[in-house]
Structure 1
Amino acid sequence: MGAVELPHPTLRTAAGRDGPAADLGTDLAADLATSLSERIAGEVRFDTGSRALYATDASNYRQVPIGVVVPHDPDDVVATVAACREHGVPVLSRGGGTSLAGQACNVAVVMDFSKYVNQIESFDPGARTVVVQPGIVLDTLNAQTRRHDNLIFGPKPATHSHCTIGGMIGNDSCGSTAQWSGTTGGNVRRLEILTYDGTRMWVGATSEEEYQRIMAGGGRPAEIYRRVRDLRDRCAEQIRRFPRLPRRISGYNLPALLPENDFQLAQALVGSESTCVTVLRAELTLLPEPANKAMVLLGYPDIVAAARAVPEVNQHQPFVVEGIDDKLITFETRKHMHPEALHLLPRSGAWLLVQFGGDTADEARGRVDDLLGALARAGHSPVAKVFADAAHEEQIWAVREAALAATARVPGEADTWPGWEDSAVPPEQLGDYLAGFTTLLDEFGYAEASLYGHFGDGCLHTSLPFDLLTVDGVAAYRAFVERATELCVSHGGSLSGEHGDGQARGELLTTMYGAEMVTAFEEFKRIFDPDNRMNPGKVVQANRLDEQLRLGPGYAPAEPATHFQYPGDKNSFARAANRCVGVGKCRQPGGEGVMCPSYMVTGDEQHSTRGRARLLFEMVRGETVTGGWRDESVADALDLCLACKGCKRDCPVNVDMATYKAEFLAHHYAGRIRPRDHYSLGWLPVWARLAMLAPGTVNALAHTPGIGTLAKKLGNLDPGRDLPRLSTASFKRWFHRRTPGGSGDRGPVLLWPDTFTTYLSPGVGAAAIGVLEAAGFRVVMPRQQVCCGLTWISTGQLGVARTVLRRTVDVLAPYLRDGLPVVGLEPSCTAVFRSDAHDLLGHSLDVERLASQTKTLAELLTERAPEFTPQLPAPDGRRPRAIVQTHCHQHAVLGFDADTELMGRIGLDAEVLDSGCCGLAGNFGMTPEHREVSLGCAERVLLPAVREVAPATLVLADGFSCRTQIEDGDTGRRAVHLAEAINGAVRGTPIGDYPERTVTWRPEGRRARR
């Protein structure tokens, strides 16, 4: 079979730095954008910022697209491809954009299906099938189908919370459960496909009768089927000699075309990575997930020993067999990931995580016992720990699923990258393969890399410390991958075990399959895409694996002077902007954690943490995004960042977009007029202090029709929100005039007088004082005017923030040096002391003392007054209940475990809502242009939960913003601070909303009531 090259996808202008067809030309691009805008209902984005957003995926590669289309429905997709065909422009379908081999970036029109083309079109529980659009997220699909006989789409990649079905079809994804369910391809019944020339048809298993019917219909469908069958028949014997292993993902899935496999054209196209067709719809097979599961961890001396045990474990037909090594656990420990789970691991050098399913809990546990008995009888029983409860199993799964991100950006280690992250061999060969692979790692100096993966299917994952910044480093990268390819093939393996070939492995397929079979792959693509306009340069006739690198020897980003220190990124903003590895966890449509609230509302890439990080990376790169700190595309993407800091904790590599946004705003508005709310809300501490000269008058004017409206307009405040009312008397004056209560036996503590508590919620401060004194502490507060600088930080007025914060540290220094705890009541202000102060002021002993000595009220009481357990009264004989909104900064910086423990101690049955950010987030939700997103965040979980809860249930929220959002959200409820709830227990106040008259705030200067 002679080699026939596919046409090169050069367009009508010369190639640019990003590869062939990098520069479509201004006029032609404008014509195409206009044509698309006239034809589709979705979004057409050919602006620089949108192109930069999609220039890379989770791989080592970067190719700036021609433009981006966000289609509204499958018909939009058809119209998009038609317009691109008329202009001769390549196209690329994209789902979650988490591909590790470069297949989701190209110089093409990128179609992002995830925002709109994500519907379940039909579901037949009896037939166990479902028809979906390709943009639907796996967990979203399974949440719907699981309600019927526990049916799910079986393959479950680690990105299951945000990967799309279309992306899984593109890569033939597998995940941990594929040992039970099979790969994505094995669970696809039919696909509705669209070829570049406009042919649209359903494909699937093809009987002889069906084949003849298609032939009789003629036209392009008949031509495709005829040529595909001819290719199959000519190559059948070679196809039957493909490596036999559970995860042969590399190359095209031609064995699906064999007669014994029902000439399954849909399954043959699964894993083709958008290089042959565009998938419009998919009919999937569903499986009943085992009702009960039991897990055992088996400990071995090292990862090779664990791999050698896999064949024996597999004989017992487990649901899942995963392998992890001790380096992964070390890295997660250093990054403070999953501490509650890591202590569950038995001491070993490596582990097999083995899970069994069963109809009953006893059946699942019995299968674990059978395995352990068999291993013991064989005379080489490993260390074992059994888990039969779902909570602990989920904790262990979290350790494994975080592996990709956990091995990136490890403190004290070199950065790691994909490139050989996905090989697979027959499971019986895995031990020998790993023995050779570890030797190869030693030879190239990559020995510190962690090894883990889906060992039951023989699949190895690893991220390696490639040097992708120097000529010699890139040469070593290529040499290693070529050697690893030879090693893998010698063990009967596949270069990819689930992530696909893309650009990372496409040019290596000849080593695995031989030149003749690679020519057959090229012919298969040419049948569907004769002009090579479908994701060119990937899989076949692929770009070189060491070209179009996201970094590369030519990478020379700007290194601007910054206000923050960025100590975790070697004091480099450019390095911080490159922290995102593209995992895409910030693109979850919902679920646990806070990140990323604006994405949850808009579903738009530019409003995800990853999207913003990509734009900042492109900004410092300076090639596509050329405006630097003044660039409006970056400003637009950051505009809907709530600065919630959820990503600081929830992002697996701890991207801190709130800090990056503050840094950007500081430079963006340097020497320029700022938005009005930066002056009104950004300077809130100053205005509040001045207003206290006549608080009654200010309150009256602010709530007088006309005057209040004018004030909101001048300050760029949302006219739909009420201005918060100032305290009518000085909280600090009251405190310093009052007679202290309690014994003070536990010593002094400094109560931090944050702006929100001091001027807007003095009842919270008074309640906290009552609690602290009842617990035996002596409360002190500084007499000087102090502030944490939060409002200036969040609006990017960092020069002022630094001055304010440095003065505050100076005022607090004597207290800190005397060892006093600093108790913070407002989570956002408290988080400044624990995190931002160090990053903004740099190292000093007083700043370090401030960070370590700052405590939340719950932390102080649980650590220093463990026997302090006042009980809330329970008039009906049952434990009082509460629903709890966790402040974002408490979730991200401070932690909430102490609060949960303390609520239990005072007899409160608390449900902590999985509601994410309330949506107000300081100044964000107070501005009119953010109203829709702000309320969208709150309406996702928080406000409906508050509206539905029983009147006797307490609503707890420590954040002033959270309490304000709840009161503004048409709930009819008033949320209270934990300090007020505990003080209620001290005073014996029945649970429920605390009306203003019961608060312990007494402005007359008399001692607070208890």
Structure 2
Amino acid sequence: MDPVDLPLPVVRRPREGTDAGALERDLRSRVDGEVRFDAGTRAAYSTDGSNYRQVPIGVVVPRTVEAAREAVAVCRDHGAPLLSRGGGTSLAGECCNTAVVLDWTKYCNRLVSVDVENRRCVVEPGIVLDELNRQLAEHGLMYGPKPATHPNCTIGGMIGNNSCGSTAQAYGKVVDNLHRLEVLTYDGVRMWVGRTDDGELRRLTAADGRVGELYRGMTAVRDRYAGLVRERYPDIPRRVSGYNLDSLLPEHGFDVAGLLTGSESTLVTVLHAELELVPVPKHSALVVLGYEDICQAADHVPAILRHEPAALEGVDHQLIHFEQKKHLNPDALKELPEGRAYLLVQLNGDTREEVEEQARALIDAKPEDVGHTWYDDPQHIGELWRVRESGLGATAHVPGKPDTWEGWEDSAVPVPRLGDYLRDLKRLYEEFDYGHPSVYGHFGHGCVHTRIPFDLESEEGIARMRAFVEKAADLVVSYGGSLSGEHGDGQSRGELLVRMFGPELIEGFERLKGLFDPGNRMNPGKIVVPYRLDENLRLGADYLPWEPETVFSYPHDDGRFSRAAARCVGVGKCRSLEGGVMCPSYRATREEEHSTRGRARLLFEMVNNDGDSPVTDGWHSGEVHDALDLCLACKGCKTDCPANVDMATYKAEFLHHHYKGRLRPLAHYSMGWLPAVARAVALAPRTVNALTSVPWVARAAKALGGVAPERDVPVFAEQRFTNWWRERGGPRGDGHRGEVVVWPDTFTDHFHPAIGRAAVAVLEAAGFRVKVPDRAVCCGLTWISTGQLGVAQRVLRHTLDVLREDLRRGTPVVGLEPSCTAVFRADAVELLPKDPDVERLRDRTRTLAELLLERAGDWRLPRVDARAVVQRHCHQYAVMGFDADREILGRAGVDADVLDAGCCGLAGNFGFEKGHYDVSMACAEAGLLPAVRQADDSTLILADGFSCRTQVDQAGTGRTPLHLAEILAAGLHGKEAVADRPVPSPRRALLPLAGAGAALLAAVFACRRVRASRKAL
């Protein structure tokens, strides 16, 4: 085919003419997979990590690669546009479109084969990078490129974007680490492609049919544009912009896999990839160098490159400051040397001595005024890398600062010119009055990341953003650089590519697109024939979201729920499969709607007044309700999410409005009103325990209470903690350290009172005078978690009345149940804002460990000298942190294995609610329960949270977890730490009362009358 005759794409708005209903029916009938055209799914996939939003036609989750091939065929039959999606973290808008979205991540995520000898493997596109490397570790191999999103990015997405990451310094981009790709064109050609020697190329170009046409067309493109490619493609390691026409050059072996890498689903669909692997480094060292200024640090990069680092990253003082304000990576930040800008230099080697020698050589060669620290242990190296990898989230939604956005976030220039480029870029910020945005990135390759405070909600602001990006594009081209050094072109840079490559090469890109996708159905509007960079904005000049009245005050979002709903920036950390707390339901289901990000997208669509929003029913939205139903309200996202999305709070707010004036689920009455129920049961706990041990009574009670039938009803204590306290006669001891209030939460008071007794013993031994409230009190947790916020406010006001005198005297309040403690430390001030007493309550509330460290730091803790497996409660992890507990355990001689296993899965009422049992147990089996089963009998199981202890109790592990207070109290008396838990009374003594008792219990569990429940309070 003559290159002049290569077709150009002509269709700009490809959705026209697509019959979504008929398309959905055919997909359902022909594709082995989940076909979803519902409003909730379309909302969840409407955007990625970029500034752009396009609601998809529908989503297909294929169960096999063959099913995906059939999905493409169905789309072809209907002329429907198609988008193959990875982890959905793309920052240039390439991962959202008005198209049918193929999501590979749930099922098509296998490591198909490993060739250890040749260091290659074959994978399906949905496999997550970290998961792939976990499976390859047994062979001593790994995949080299490692973006910051490595816990959740997929290989298919990395191929689509030609991803890099910090390790590209040693291993290069994805295009440098591919052997072959199996691809599928929109018109149905399926083939393996890779490097093509001259003989094979002659055979393929002479072939009949579509394969021959493709190879003849690629040869024509190569021959026509080879000179321009050699002339105009920047000779830098981070040229990611544009199609990889250079891969077709003879010196690159006519590499069709390389050509298609980075094409962002605009040319083909990747079905399989054969990857080139590298050995896992045996030893590493990380040297951190401190400079006065980020530009000075950039100037020093060429000198450091002479030491052949495996990674070389730059971080400025702004990023560090933002992480400090957001309480990200506090331990790692303490390990940085003096300075206002830093270079992180990783050195790899076969022996510890080798990397130590490299590190010392680097340190010896640095200027005298450059500070340094260095580490060669995996823990510190990992902590310091998290400082860099948190960059995107840390620079978004900084308290007290305007919101920042992508749009010029990954330009790349020749390394020797990096310092000057940064100086010019800073001048450009000042010219456009954008202040001093943080800059950081892959300095060893001249790649710069930044987020800029663009105003994307006014015509003037958007015009200014456009003018800035155009000038920035001209600036980077003047430096011989690339518009994108990592994140791709998509919509952010597609329109700007002509400034970098010139009109002739843009024509070459269009001809290549026309060759592979003549109908422009593959991710249309991205890279070539692009949408404008200022259209399809997620916000935009006409963005006027619904601003509903709320119960929570949302102080971090200017009191606006719409801002809270727009907080997610799409990093996708909530989709990671290991480490941290969030998002337990996603880990169990692998569904986008069950990730923090997916739920945030639905909430954004709920408040979005755009006419094409798929979520239209406001607080009554069934789609939002369904997405939130499997949210465990664990609060893990409050800390783990780089943008601090607090989905537990949003869920409580939504449930409050959703059920306002409507009948609630049974569980909201039984478990939402648990404090009232427990106080009623306290009138006859032995009777209730006996009755709930009768199978048919328990089944009836659980059915009437909306409780999962698989769950056991917890056993109520025969003597409450508060009753024991009164019978004991109140405070004892000299109290030379002052007074403390031990908080009698519902779970300690009614279910595990031994914990309260143990806490009293420990605090008195430490020299405190202990007080326990003499009136019924509650934090309101169960009403918050079920969205009964009006009741929660009344309960909290009552609590403040009881504690007011102590709070005003400065008396600390010790919380034993982490979830209740977290209410006082976080939720209460947002439910009752501007109340000085609730602020005092927040400031006075401490965990047992925190109080002992702060006010009894010189007390010699009782020695326990034992090993323990420790499950942190999610609310403690998210709100209070666990550092104090680690310190106390260490001082007590406890060798603590603190699990990084995520949520226990019970999560308050969640795991008890009917319909949640399977997800609850899947969460527990992801980490907690296997760790408990593997622990030997001499190892203690420590879990301060009632939910965590109950999950272990009811999972048949044969272990009874302890609270920190119980372990310390046992050490006081030199006893073995053994849990004292209530057990049900013998059935036979109370069977005659079963009928009447069952009716009474059912009435209690199904209590619906607010007046009666208030009396119980």
TM-score (norm 1): 0.95
Shift of 1:992: 5.5
Q: Does 1:750 align with 2:741?
A: yes
After superposition, where does 1:427-442 map in structure 2 within 5 Å? 427-442=415-430
Contact 2:160 2:262 in 1 (8 A): yes
Q: Does 1:945 align with 2:931?
A: yes
Paired position in structure 2 for 1:137: 128
Query: Residue 601 of structure 1 aligns to a residue in which SS?
Result: helix
User: How many Å separate the matches in 1 of 2:711 and 2:111?
Assistant: 38
Paired position in structure 2 for 1:599: 586
- 2:633 is aligned with what amino acid? A
Q: Does 1:295 align with 2:286?
A: yes
Query: Residue 823 of structure 1 aligns to a residue in which SS?
Result: strand
**C-alpha offsets along residues 363-414 of structure 1, whole Å, 9 cap, x if unaligned?**
11211222233335xxx75222222332222221111100111011111111
Contact 2:6 2:514 in 1 (8 A): no
Q: Does 1:353 align with 2:344?
A: yes
- 1:846 is aligned with what amino acid? D
Contact 1:642 1:658 in 2 (8 A): yes
Shift of 1:234: 1.7
Shift of 1:6: 4.2
**C-alpha offsets along residues 689-717 of structure 1, whole Å, 9 cap, x if unaligned?**
01111111111122222121111100011
Q: Does 1:64 align with 2:55?
A: yes
Contact 1:3 1:519 in 2 (8 A): no
Paired position in structure 2 for 1:613: 600
User: Are residues 469 and 22 of structure 1, via their aligned partners in 2, closer, same or farther at CA, if it must alter by over 3 Å?
Assistant: farther
Shift of 1:9: 4.0
- 1:606 is aligned with what amino acid? E
Query: Residue 500 of structure 1 aligns to a residue in which SS?
Result: coil
Contact 2:181 2:273 in 1 (8 A): yes
Query: Residue 354 of structure 1 aligns to a residue in which SS?
Result: strand
Paired position in structure 2 for 1:418: 406
Q: Does 1:449 align with 2:440?
A: no
Pick one of 848, 857, 862 that aligns with 1:871: 862
Contact 1:6 1:531 in 2 (8 A): no
User: Are residues 41 and 424 of structure 1, via their aligned partners in 2, closer, same or farther at CA, if it must alter by over 3 Å?
Assistant: same
Paired position in structure 2 for 1:733: 723
Paired position in structure 2 for 1:15: none
After superposition, where does 1:627-666 map in structure 2 within 5 Å? 627-666=617-656
Contact 1:973 1:993 in 2 (8 A): no
User: How many Å separate the matches in 2 of 1:70 and 1:229?
Assistant: 35
**C-alpha offsets along residues 219-270 of structure 1, whole Å, 9 cap, x if unaligned?**
2111111110121012111111221000110000111111111110001100
User: How many Å separate the matches in 1 of 2:126 and 2:554?
Assistant: 36
Paired position in structure 2 for 1:189: 179
Contact 1:101 1:503 in 2 (8 A): yes
Paired position in structure 2 for 1:965: 951
Unaligned runs of at least 5 residues, structure 2: 984-1017
**C-alpha offsets along residues 925-982 of structure 1, whole Å, 9 cap, x if unaligned?**
0022001000000011111111121011111111111111001111011111111111
After superposition, where does 1:463-612 map in structure 2 within 5 Å? 463-590=451-578, 592-612=579-599
Shift of 1:217: 4.6
Paired position in structure 2 for 1:1002: none
Contact 2:741 2:772 in 1 (8 A): yes
Unaligned runs of at least 5 residues, structure 1: 11-19, 874-878, 998-1010
Pick one of 333, 344, 351 that aligns with 1:342: 333
Contact 1:23 1:66 in 2 (8 A): no
Paired position in structure 2 for 1:97: 88
Q: Does 1:235 align with 2:235?
A: no
Contact 1:9 1:90 in 2 (8 A): no
After superposition, where does 1:210-249 map in structure 2 within 5 Å? 210-215=200-205, 217-241=207-231, 242-249=233-240
Paired position in structure 1 for 2:996: none
User: How many Å separate the matches in 2 of 1:325 and 1:67?
Assistant: 42
Shift of 1:5: 7.9
TM-score (norm 2): 0.94
Contact 2:108 2:124 in 1 (8 A): yes
Contact 1:408 1:463 in 2 (8 A): yes
Contact 1:644 1:921 in 2 (8 A): yes
Paired position in structure 2 for 1:760: 751
Paired position in structure 2 for 1:390: 378
- 2:105 is aligned with what amino acid? S
Contact 1:788 1:808 in 2 (8 A): yes
Paired position in structure 1 for 2:992: none
After TM superposition, the structure 1 stretch with the greater mean CA deviation from structure 2, 533-542 or 438-447, is 438-447
Shift of 1:824: 0.6
Contact 1:121 1:132 in 2 (8 A): yes
Pick one of 98, 101, 105 that aligns with 1:110: 101
- 2:935 is aligned with what amino acid? V
User: How many Å separate the matches in 1 of 2:509 and 2:662?
Assistant: 58
- 1:552 is aligned with what amino acid? G
Contact 2:716 2:982 in 1 (8 A): no
Shift of 1:747: 1.6
Contact 1:952 1:992 in 2 (8 A): no
User: Are residues 835 and 516 of structure 1, via their aligned partners in 2, closer, same or farther at CA, if it must alter by over 3 Å?
Assistant: same
After TM superposition, the structure 1 stretch with the greater mean CA deviation from structure 2, 707-716 or 276-285, is 707-716
Q: Does 1:773 align with 2:764?
A: yes
Q: Does 1:724 align with 2:714?
A: yes
Shift of 1:416: 0.4
User: How many Å separate the matches in 1 of 2:740 and 2:193?
Assistant: 71
Contact 1:967 1:975 in 2 (8 A): yes
Contact 1:452 1:460 in 2 (8 A): yes
Q: Does 1:926 align with 2:917?
A: no
Query: Residue 437 of structure 1 aligns to a residue in which SS?
Result: helix
User: How many Å separate the matches in 2 of 1:24 and 1:752?
Assistant: 64
Query: Residue 958 of structure 2 aligns to a residue in which SS?
Result: coil
Paired position in structure 1 for 2:261: 270
User: How many Å separate the matches in 2 of 1:301 and 1:862?
Assistant: 37
User: Are residues 860 and 689 of structure 1, via their aligned partners in 2, closer, same or farther at CA, if it must alter by over 3 Å?
Assistant: same
Paired position in structure 1 for 2:244: 253
After TM superposition, the structure 1 stretch with the greater mean CA deviation from structure 2, 514-523 or 985-994, is 985-994
**C-alpha offsets along residues 27-60 of structure 1, whole Å, 9 cap, x if unaligned?**
x211111111111221100011111111100000
Shift of 1:810: 1.6
User: How many Å separate the matches in 1 of 2:429 and 2:981?
Assistant: 66
User: Are residues 205 and 547 of structure 1, via their aligned partners in 2, closer, same or farther at CA, if it must alter by over 3 Å?
Assistant: same
User: How many Å separate the matches in 2 of 1:989 and 1:558?
Assistant: 60
**C-alpha offsets along residues 647-681 of structure 1, whole Å, 9 cap, x if unaligned?**
00100111000000000000000110000000000
User: How many Å separate the matches in 2 of 1:342 and 1:766?
Assistant: 39
- 1:618 is aligned with what amino acid? E
Paired position in structure 2 for 1:162: 152
User: How many Å separate the matches in 1 of 2:932 and 2:378?
Assistant: 28
After TM superposition, the structure 1 stretch with the greater mean CA deviation from structure 2, 115-124 or 697-706, is 697-706
Contact 2:732 2:770 in 1 (8 A): no
After superposition, where does 1:995-1010 map in structure 2 within 5 Å? none
User: How many Å separate the matches in 2 of 1:527 and 1:655?
Assistant: 44
Query: Residue 487 of structure 2 aligns to a residue in which SS?
Result: coil
Query: Residue 929 of structure 1 aligns to a residue in which SS?
Result: coil
- 2:804 is aligned with what amino acid? A
**C-alpha offsets along residues 124-182 of structure 1, whole Å, 9 cap, x if unaligned?**
11110010001111110111112213x11111110001000111000000001101000
Query: Residue 167 of structure 1 aligns to a residue in which SS?
Result: helix
Q: Does 1:704 align with 2:691?
A: no
How many pairs are equivalent? Answer: 976
Paired position in structure 2 for 1:1005: none
Contact 1:206 1:264 in 2 (8 A): yes
Shift of 1:289: 3.0
Shift of 1:22: 5.5
Contact 1:951 1:992 in 2 (8 A): no
Q: Does 1:125 align with 2:113?
A: no
